[in-house]
Amino acid sequence: MSGPADFWQTPPDVPHGGRTLGQRCVVLDIFAPPREEYRQAGEALGKASLVG
């Protein structure tokens, strides 16, 4: 279980997921190096617009 300010690093090509157990949470999915398919705004980003 993780808590505030914790992080989890998943190795490449390993299926993963999480549960909030009834609590609110913020999830940041960060890729290094950046994945090209996530550099384009679209449905996967909730119709977001990228700045910069």
Q: What is the pLDDT of residues 7-43, one digit of tens each?
A: 888 888 888 888 888 888 777 777 777 777 777 666 5
According to the 3-state scheme, what is the secondary structure of 1-52? CCCCCCCCCCCCCCCCCCCCCCCCCCCCCCCCCCCHHHCCCCHHHCCCCCCC
* pLDDT number for residue 46: 56
Q: What single-letter amino acid sits at 1?
A: M
pLDDT at res. 47: 56
pTM over 0.75: no
Predicted pLDDT at 48:
53
What is the end-to-end Cα distance of the chain in Å, rounded? 36
